[in-house]
Amino acid sequence: MNWVVVVDDEVYNRKTVSRILSKRNFEVTALASGKELLEYIIDKNNRPDLILLDIMMPEMDGFETLEQLQAALGQDEKIPVIFLTGEGSDEVEMKGLRLGAEDFIRKPIYADVLIHRVSHIIELSYLHKSMSEEIEKKAAEVESLAWHVVQALAETIDAKDTYTNGHSDRVAKYSREIARRYGYSEKAQEDIYMMGLLHDVGKNGVPDTVINKPARLTDEEFALIKAHPAIGDRILKSVVEMPKLSIGARWHHERYDGRGYPDGLKGSEILEEARIIAVADAYDAMTSHRSYRDVLPQEVVRSEIEKGKGSQFDPVFADIMLQMIDEDKEYLMHED
């Protein structure tokens, strides 16, 4: 049964509307003022299918009532409103429509007009809600699929590099924590986590023998390694549903002083997410096992991050990383 609230300061109008709608199996609640409506909806948390709202009422007219109602409900929730009015001017109707009213019904009220417009607006409201839910469902499915693709790609990176197992996940986690402390929203934190997870995806285009070589690389081999940001950028640019995904892959080896690669960007020319990932990546590189050394002592790692402020790293994000290091009294932030 559809539920309608009618708000009118005149008893006759309330009774007329209630009688007409009740005969057509609508549940009707009758209120005498805008103040009563706000208390009924906001304070008592009632959510009817539609509100019939008189415009000309003492103390608080229909326009002011609708404005306060919308402000209280917020953008994520909407109850359709039809204005009841004895004045049929274009100016009144335009004001009501601009405020968000769905329709107008003029007084005196005719039963057929009332039933038709109330039924029509409620049907449209249900249709809109159903479509919105379906869109949200599809968006969630796409996001879930994209997340599985990201995880699968990340696993191929770590499987390829014998000496950095878990590196991608740790860089992603450190990046997310830096972003959280800097004030990123939860959505932005998850975005940078995924960027961090795939920052080394371009290594899939570098020969295994080069990536896993335990000895010093030749100039030619190092040139192959330096190509991985551009390769990663090309791979991730194809994920059109997530256009920011390639940021970390392309620019995590840029330096704040402009001496990095592949584009030699400097300072704020480097996108913020990439500056965060650069610090996280360098930290994990120093706190992970390598074929030629063990995990570096924490004080050495801290010294290198401090030394790189303003040259290799954005000083703001380097300071956040230093704060995380100082809080890690037992040196738990490193490869197991």
Measured distance CA(268)–CA(285) in Å, rounded: 24
DSSP 155-206: HHHHHH-GGGTTHHHHHHHHHHHHHHHHT--HHHHHHHHHHHHTTTGGGGGS
Q: Are residues 118 and 190 in the same domain?
A: no
Measured distance CA(220)–CA(88) in Å, rounded: 81
Q: What is the CATH number of the domain that holds 200?
A: 1.10.3210.10
Residue 272 lies in a domain: yes
CA angle 259, 308, 294 (to 5 degrees): 105
Q: Are residues 123 and 31 in the same domain?
A: yes
Residue 32 lies in a domain: yes
Residue 266 lies in a domain: yes
Q: What token pair was written down for 7?
A: 């708000």
User: Do the strands 81-85 and 3-7 form a parallel or antiparallel pair, or are they unpaired?
Assistant: unpaired
Q: Are residues 319 and 172 in the same domain?
A: yes
Q: What is the CATH number of the domain that holds 92?
A: 3.40.50.2300
Residue 271 lies in a domain: yes
Number of domains in the chain: 2
What integer pLDDT is reported at residue 142 of this predicted model? 56
Measured distance CA(31)–CA(37) in Å, rounded: 7
Residue 151 lies in a domain: no
Q: Are residues 82 and 174 in the same domain?
A: no
Task: Look at phi and psi of residue 74 and say left if phi exceeds 0, alpha if psi is from -120 to 50, else beta.
Answer: left
Q: Are residues 66 and 165 in the same domain?
A: no
Q: Smallest Cα–Cα separation from 175: which of 270, 286, 254, 252?
A: 252
Last residue of a domain, one of 95, 113, 133: 133
Q: Are residues 127 and 68 in the same domain?
A: yes
The tens-digit pLDDT sequence of the chain (336 residues) is: 899 999 999 999 999 999 999 999 999 999 999 999 999 999 899 999 999 999 999 989 999 999 999 999 987 788 999 999 887 777 888 888 888 899 999 999 999 999 999 999 999 888 778 776 765 676 565 566 567 667 777 777 776 666 667 888 899 999 999 999 999 999 999 999 999 999 998 888 888 788 777 778 888 888 888 999 999 998 888 777 678 889 999 999 999 999 999 999 999 999 999 999 999 999 999 999 876 778 999 999 999 999 999 999 999 999 999 999 999 999 999 877
Range of the domain at 13: 3-133
